[in-house]
Structure 1
Amino acid sequence: MSRDVKALQYRILSALLWCVCLGQNLMSIAPRAVLMAHAAHFCAQVLLITTYFLPIKIVILLGSETVPAYLPAPLKALDQTALIIGLGLLTVILYAFYLGAGFMASRYSRTGARALIDGGAEPARLKTQLALAARTFSRFARGLSDAMFTLIVFCVLLYLYPSLLAIGLAYSMLAAAVLIGLNNRSQRVHAVLCRHPLTVADAFYSMGFLAAFAFIIVDFLCLTPPHLYIALIALILIRQSLSRLKVLTQDILYLNTHAPSINRMFLALHPTR
């Protein structure tokens, strides 16, 4: 096999470094738009995962005869039916906020794209690049928020369920090493990765969730598990973090696939950069 085929790990590193350079360019041109789009995407993710937790709490309340004693005193003072209705309404409100945060992220991505075009050497001639600039802003800001969200989830898991985090990290390193090794030694595997990178990434993260779920089962059956609610929260967190890593992978692949067009756009908009 050729040197290019064997250098999967270097191509991954090169793609990440290019994304860092892209971020530096975007931040130097429209820092406020990038940060606001990033903040909106991050808020959307936090709101979404909160709307996952609240229905579970409602189901627990529906299965209980009384309000659980571990709830805060103001909530324990409420009637159980009123508490269930209130949590249901709160879920709807938070989901509406989630949709609004997504709208704000899209809006600031378009604002950043217009700032990028208007700050160019010939803005009138380069209006055709507006769609590409908006997608670039949106994908980068979303990827940045996905990376930050995943890092925070890992820190939470380190506190709540460190053994589960260790299993997740061990799986990631082992699976990545196996994938890189197979790519470096097999032309067929390399061809599959080139043709279906998103399918391979989806399988990678899905197997990671199954590995985490299997570990929780083994932990409860044979080892020393945490409280059931802690395990449930950890499972939801790791599921959501893997989902965001999958989207992050999609965004990195998209940006690097369109890297020649993005580089030409920056060269045309800002020839002195």
Structure 2
Amino acid sequence: MSEAKSAPLDSGRWIYSVASKITRNIPGLTLTIITCTLAAQISLLAASYLPLKAIILIGSPSIPSYFPDYLKEFEQKDLFIVLCVAAIVFYLLYLASESITKKLTTLGSEKLVSNSSKLIVFDGQDDVARKAYLRLTRSLAAVVFLALTIAALGFIYLELTVAVIAFWLCMGVAAKAMTALKKGHPAPLTEGTHELINSMGSFGFLAAFSYLAYDLLSDTPPSLLPAIIGVLLTRQIMQRATLLIQDVMLLKEQRLQISALFFNGHKLTTESKSKATKFWNIFTRNQIDEWVPALLEQATQKSYIEHHVNWHQSGVHDIFAIEVTSTCRLGNSDTHLIKIFNTNRSTLAINEATLLSEPNVRNLPNVPFIHATVLDGFHCHVFRPEHLNKIPAVEFGIHHLELTKLLMRSTPSAALVQKYTRSRPLLWDRLNDAALANLGEALDISKHQAAFEVFMRHVESIRFLLRTLPLHVCNAQVGKDQIFISDTGVLTASYWGNWSLEPVGASLQVSSKLEPLLPELLLDLKEQRADMQDVTGQHLHLSALCFQLDQWLVKQNYLSAAELLPQISHLVSALNQAVPEGAACNV
């Protein structure tokens, strides 16, 4: 079979080709892993079976009659000890086999990747290769184990074997029928799929046990020993069968990556995911003509006779937007901005809706938000902008600073603060001992070690001072495509997916131009917010420095972070005595 096929093989042939490739490349190692896996499975079966036999033995007045004759030569107590010791030995053998399998699997995956003679194909490829090799060898071992177990069960209890095989045949027919109903496009593997497969195995064991119970109550019941062994073997068959199905499905999910790793003729190409295709299809002309009128009628409770749609550059990957100018029957028109979030941006959609739906946030410079819904499985937000004039790209720095200053006027409601603090750390929480310890390790071999030691002596005061500052809604990641400017110079933001609550002063750009800005900013904030009366320019400066410090720590830019430490320590020394103990408003 050719290693590189341009046309996609079906799943069975592809798995066979992967198994053949691996077996040819490292036959000895693969056979050893399969043998160890089988030894582990058989040892675990024995370790589960022997304690049950020991308990039955010790609970009987003598050695039960259905025990094999060679065991009846032992004394009852001695036989109990032998069974217990044997159970321990088999369990230790199971642990040893699992340990050997794990080490050999890592070695085998490394050899396979090395034999392919390729560059690094994608991040985390070693882990993908190791797991793929483990699943494949485990699947091969499971096939052998299932064959041996079913053969043993057939020899001991033929009727139960027929019942087990009939169950899996019925499940296979049902799965095939469901796939046919979905027109050959099975749903991607999810946690729910795993749960369904596990439930199927449990249901199979219940069905087999029900048959066993019926047979035991019949006129010609089986003997007790075959029934006990039958229960244990049936349980193992169901567990291994469900694990085999899950391993095969997981291998199919990573088909492109595995082929790129193990086959010389395969290259990793971008796979067209069904959900990505579905997301793009929303924006075809026919689809837009269908859902835009219904959505706007739902959002505005108004009926429009015509919609003119233009693409809107959102500035965020996988968040698409359109501008819709709608005309009413009376001739007047309304403009709406509609944003659709792909599934991998659902968190950003929920963050934005949470903030913009909060009624008691004052002074928030946002584009008016009127509706949030789910459109064909994707989060959708509708805005009613007064205009759609984006700021000139060359003036982004100026307007971003102005928007940052405007945002400090925003006063979050108590309910929003409570929601936020229950789910995310605030600035003083993010400057925790663990984050600062990493900084200390980096600076221990630098010229900034002394500055760090001084900083650490003030760290508790720093956290306390930050708690004394009022919070504001911060939108530090807003970009040039997301800031609108009116004809009169009023700024608004259209994107709030990454908003956070920060002390006033945070997100101001730290530079030599910062200090001259603070007096005017402080005067404006005191006019806009009643909770700013005890705040000074030094507080704002400290907040800006600490916020920048946190950003550098996240990026592991420790030398840039170190340059801020002397300024922070100096400000804290000046402020520390001036803050009364009861002034903290965010403790």
1:251 aligned partner: 247
For residue 261 of structure 1, report the CA deviation from its aligned partner.
0.6
1:95 aligned partner: 91
1:225 aligned partner: 221
CA contact (8 A) 1:41 1:145 kept: yes
Is the counterpart of residue 159 in structure 1 residue 155 in structure 2? Answer: yes
The one of 103, 107, 110 equivalent to 2:103 is 107
SS in 2 for 1:64: coil
For residue 132 of structure 1, report the CA deviation from its aligned partner.
2.1
Counterpart Cα distance in 2 of 1:245 and 1:23 = 18
Is the counterpart of residue 80 in structure 1 residue 76 in structure 2? Answer: yes
SS in 2 for 1:222: coil
Is the counterpart of residue 25 in structure 1 residue 21 in structure 2? Answer: yes
The one of 55, 60, 81 equivalent to 1:59 is 55
Counterpart Cα distance in 2 of 1:96 and 1:264 = 38
For residue 216 of structure 1, report the CA deviation from its aligned partner.
0.9
Deviation digits for residues 200-258 of structure 1 (CA, Å, limit 9, x no counterpart): 21222222111111111111223532211101101110110110011111111111111
Structure with the higher fraction of residues in helix conformation? 1
Counterpart Cα distance in 1 of 2:138 and 2:103 = 13
Deviation digits for residues 92-130 of structure 1 (CA, Å, limit 9, x no counterpart): 121011000001111111121122133232578999633
Is the counterpart of residue 139 in structure 1 residue 135 in structure 2? Answer: yes
Q: 1:96 to 1:222 in 2, by over 3 A?
A: same
Counterpart Cα distance in 2 of 1:242 and 1:35 = 24
Q: 1:193 to 1:100 in 2, by over 3 A?
A: closer
CA contact (8 A) 1:219 1:225 kept: yes
1:5 aligned partner: none
Q: Which amino acid aligns with 2:85?
A: L
For residue 64 of structure 1, report the CA deviation from its aligned partner.
1.5
Q: 1:193 to 1:67 in 2, by over 3 A?
A: same
1:43 aligned partner: 39
Counterpart Cα distance in 1 of 2:36 and 2:190 = 33
SS in 2 for 1:196: helix
TM-score (ref. length: structure 2): 0.41
Q: Which amino acid aligns with 1:142?
A: R
CA contact (8 A) 1:164 1:216 kept: yes
TM-score (ref. length: structure 1): 0.84
Structure with the higher fraction of residues in strand conformation? 2
CA contact (8 A) 2:43 2:90 kept: yes
For residue 271 of structure 1, report the CA deviation from its aligned partner.
4.1
For residue 71 of structure 1, report the CA deviation from its aligned partner.
4.8
Q: 1:48 to 1:182 in 2, by over 3 A?
A: same
Counterpart Cα distance in 1 of 2:76 and 2:190 = 55
Give the 5 Å matches for 1:179-258: 179-185=175-181, 196-258=192-254
Counterpart Cα distance in 1 of 2:253 and 2:266 = 24
1:173 aligned partner: 169
Counterpart Cα distance in 2 of 1:74 and 1:181 = 51
Counterpart Cα distance in 2 of 1:64 and 1:21 = 54
SS in 1 for 2:10: helix
Q: Which amino acid aligns with 1:206?
A: S
Moved more, 108-117 or 31-40: 108-117
For residue 14 of structure 1, report the CA deviation from its aligned partner.
2.7
Q: Which amino acid aligns with 1:246?
A: T
Q: Which amino acid aligns with 2:195?
A: T
Larger-gyration structure (1/2): 2
Q: 1:227 to 1:33 in 2, by over 3 A?
A: same
- Structure 2: runs of 5 or more not aligned: 1-7, 268-587
CA contact (8 A) 2:146 2:241 kept: yes
Counterpart Cα distance in 2 of 1:138 and 1:223 = 47
Moved more, 19-28 or 163-172: 163-172
- Structure 1: runs of 5 or more not aligned: 1-10
Counterpart Cα distance in 2 of 1:105 and 1:112 = 10
Which gives a bigger RCO, structure 1 or 2 (Cα 8 Å, sep 6+)? Answer: 1
